[in-house]
Amino acid sequence: MEDDSLVGLALAEARDKMTKAVGHAQEEFAAVRTGRAAPALVERIRVDYYGTEVPLRDIAGINAPEARLLVISPYDKGSAKAIEKALQNSDLGINPSSDGQVIRLTFPPLTEERRKDLVKVVRHKAEEARVAVRNLRRAARHDLEGLEKEGEITSDDVEWAEKELDKLTQDQVADIDRLLQHKEQELLEV
């Protein structure tokens, strides 16, 4: 009975870490700009707020009233200049315009060349996520083999667990591929 719980624990830990890797990939994809303005593009930008680096989403409301416009409403009007500076220093390549109350970001339409470049960026991020999932599988296998050497579990348990790990890995990689396909379609949509 103890053998099953050790194997189950190792598989559950691997599943949890792989799910987090897929979630991270999804966040990375959301931060890549498509033809539409989305709050996810800027919410993780770090702003120097009274000497502390905080994500933009913590100190301002972010809305997308139009397809190519983001409106950022600072909760503290005194932070508007710091938010503006952080947006200018970010890799968005867009100059914010401010009226002292709200900050507006107007996104130009993407050129076909820029869309293709962004697809390459997204594919690279997807490959990084796949590698992370495979590395987690390798680490879990290493842990299982260590348990077997210590006599905690049998070789049959290890064999069964490795099959489960492979299935889990294939499922997670398929999730990454689905996310990638969706993001590519979103990027290439005119």
CATH of the domain at 77: 3.30.1360.40
Query: Of 72, 106, 140, which one is at a domain's C-terminal end?
Result: 106
pLDDT at 189 over 90: no
Tell me, yes or no, whether 85 and 21 share the same domain: no
pLDDT at 138 over 90: yes
pLDDT at 3 over 70: no
- Of the candidates 184, 182, 171, 127, the one whose C-alpha atom is nearest the C-alpha of residue 18 is 171
pLDDT band at 35 (very low <50, low <70, confident <90, very high): low
User: Which pLDDT value is given to residue 27?
Assistant: 87
* Bridge partners (DSSP) listed for residue 103: 72, 98
Least confident interval from 3-12, 67-76, 137-146? 3-12
Task: State the residue range of the domain holding 96.
Answer: 39-106
Tell me, yes or no, whether 119 and 79 share the same domain: no
| Residue 10 · residue 164 · CB < 8 Å | no
Classify 2 in phi/psi space as left (phi over 0), alpha (psi -120 to 50) or beta: alpha
Tell me, yes or no, whether 152 and 134 share the same domain: yes
Tell me, yes or no, whether 92 and 117 share the same domain: no
CATH number at residue 124: 1.10.132.20
Which helix (H) or strand (E) segment holds residue 59: the answer is: helix 56-59
Query: Of 54, 74, 106, which one is at a domain's C-terminal end?
Result: 106
Quick check: pTM over 0.75?
Answer: no
pLDDT band at 37 (very low <50, low <70, confident <90, very high): confident
